């Protein structure tokens, strides 16, 4: 299957700082990228969907000013958690979809905000 | 009613057993059906991908789609302890913007 990378794989930061997470599709062009959040033993929660070159579409209840998404190219999307707080600590996973509707996930980023 | 229903389990089976995982859905427009495996603290891994109805086999895994019943299944033959993970079903419409995921079934295969 296609490969999606995420960086960093884990990050610890102080409350009030911003954290950027990168998501790259390594061997295909992703027409759409998705960002999910997952709490322990719970399913994936879709945060936002982005298409290259256009603004992200956020799910209800997700603050777009707090979770900034940039889909700069067909292979790169970034999620920036601004002014992170302990309640933002979670497992963030991106996924990328090509032209045939198959959706591939990155390995995830574990964020811990102290 | 959720668009996709999946029993969260947990499901515990002995090594070597045949495992059956299922999802039901309500949206008749779904055409693409996927099964993902997720190990703890890892991103989901695409296991099976099928379009419309029918069966698809890959090694020990068989995916079945019955669109008339709005029911999909994943069978795992000769289950191994390494199959212990959470299995998520997912589906989307042709040209659909989103993929809809089930809640995931936690599977434990005991040695």
Q: Output the DSSP codes for B54-105.
A: EEEEETTEEEEEETTTTEEEEEESS--GGG-EEEEEEEEETT-S--EE---E
> What is each CA distance from B63 to A22, A101, B23, B88, in whole angstroms?
32, 17, 11, 13
What does the mean pLDDT of chain B come to? 93
Measured on CA atoms in the order A31, A26, A47, B11, is the torsion positive or negative?
Answer: positive
Alpha-carbon dihedral of residues B97, B99, B100, B106, nearest 10 degrees? -170
Determine contact, residues A16/A83, Cβ cutoff 8 Å.
Answer: yes
More confident residue, B90 or A98: B90
Tokens of residue A113, six digits? 């905000």
Question: Distance, in angstroms, between B15 CA and closest chain A CA?
Answer: 23
pLDDT score at A10 = 96
In this predicted structure, what is the pLDDT of residue A83? 96
pLDDT for A43: 84
Q: Per-residue pLDDT for B1 more than 80?
A: no
| A111 and chain B in contact, CB less than 8 A | no
A51 touches B at CB < 8 Å: no
pLDDT, one tens digit per residue, over B41-95 is 899 999 999 988 889 999 999 999 999 999 999 999 999 999 999 999 999 887 7
What would the two tokens of residue B95 be?
Answer: 């040209």
Taking an 8 Å cut-off on Cβ atoms, the answer to whether B99 and A102 are in contact is no
CB–CB contact A46 B98 (8 Å): yes
Confidence at A15, pLDDT banded by 50, 70, 90 = very high
**Cα nearest neighbour of A37 on chain B:** B43
Convert A63-83 to b/e letters by CB count within 10 Å (16 or more is b): eeeebbbebeebbbbbbebee
pLDDT for the residue B52: 87
A2-6, A8-12, A50-54, B33-37, range with the lowest pLDDT = A50-54
The whole-number pLDDT of residue B15 equals 98
A60 touches chain B (CB under 8 A): no
Predicted confidence band of residue A88 (pLDDT cuts 50, 70, 90):
very high
Chain A contact probe: residue of B7, B31, B43 with most A CBs at under 10 A: B43
Residue A41 has pLDDT above 90, yes or no: no
Q: Residue A31's pLDDT is what?
A: 83
The answer for A 67-96 residues in CB contact with B (under 8 A) is 91, 93, 95
Nearest CB to B43 within list A57, A93, A101: A93
Residue A107 has pLDDT above 90, yes or no: yes
In this structure, what DSSP letter does residue B53 have?
S
Are B86 and B105 in contact by the 8 Å Cβ rule? The answer is yes
What percent of chain B has a predicted confidence (pLDDT) above 90? 82
State the Cα angle at A18 between A69 and A56, rounded to 5°: 10
Cβ atoms of A80 and A20 closer than 8 Å: yes
Torsion of CA B55, B58, B62, B67, to 10 degrees: -30
DSSP A83: S
Give the per-residue pLDDT at B67: 93
* A46 confidence band (pLDDT: 50, 70, 90): very high
**Would you state the pLDDT for residue A98?**
80
């Amino acid at each position: 299957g296609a490969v999606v990378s995420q960086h960093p794989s884990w990050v610890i930061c102080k409350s009030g700082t911003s954290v950027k997470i990168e998501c790259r599709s390594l061997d295909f062009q992703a027409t759409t990228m998705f960002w999910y959040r997952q709490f322990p033993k719970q399913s994936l929660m879709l945060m936002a969907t982005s298409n290259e070159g256009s603004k992200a579409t956020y799910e209800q209840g997700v603050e777009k000013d707090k979770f900034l998404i940039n889909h700069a190219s067909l292979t790169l999307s970034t999620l920036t958690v601004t002014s992170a707080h302990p309640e933002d600590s979670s497992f963030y996973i991106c996924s990328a979809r090509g032209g045939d509707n198959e959706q591939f996930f990155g390995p995830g980023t574990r964020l811990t905000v102290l | 009613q959720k668009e996709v229903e999946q029993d969260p389990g947990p499901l515990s089976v002995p090594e070597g057993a045949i495992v059956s995982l299922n999802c039901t859905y309500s949206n008749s427009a779904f055409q693409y059906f996927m099964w993902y495996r997720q190990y703890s603290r890892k991103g989901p891994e695409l296991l099976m991908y099928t379009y419309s109805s029918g069966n698809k086999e890959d090694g020990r895994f068989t995916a079945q789609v019955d669109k008339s019943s709005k029911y999909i299944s994943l069978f795992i033959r000769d289950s191994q302890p390494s199959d212990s993970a959470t299995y998520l079903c997912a589906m989307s419409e042709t040209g659909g913007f989103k993929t809809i995921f089930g809640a995931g079934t936690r599977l434990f295969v005991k040695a």
